[in-house]
Amino acid sequence: MSKSDKTKSGLIAHGIASQNRKARHDYTIRETMEAGIVLKGPEVKSLRHGRATLTEAWAGERDGELWLFNCYIPEYQGGVLSRFEPRAPRKLLLHTKQVNQMLGAVQREGATLVPLDIHFNDRGMAKVLLGVAEGRKKADKRAAIAERDWARDKARLLRARG
CATH number of 11-135: 2.40.280.10
**15-34 pLDDT tens trace:** 788 888 888 878 888 889 99
Task: Check pLDDT > 70 for residue 152.
Answer: yes
Rounded Cα distance, 90 and 97, in Å: 20
The domain segmentation of the chain, as residue ranges, is: 11-135
Rounded Cα distance, 127 and 119, in Å: 5
**45-101 pLDDT tens trace:** 888 888 888 888 889 889 888 999 999 988 887 766 667 788 899 999 999 999 998
Task: Decide which of 135 and 52 is more confident.
Answer: 52
Question: Side chain identity at 117, as an amino acid letter?
Answer: D
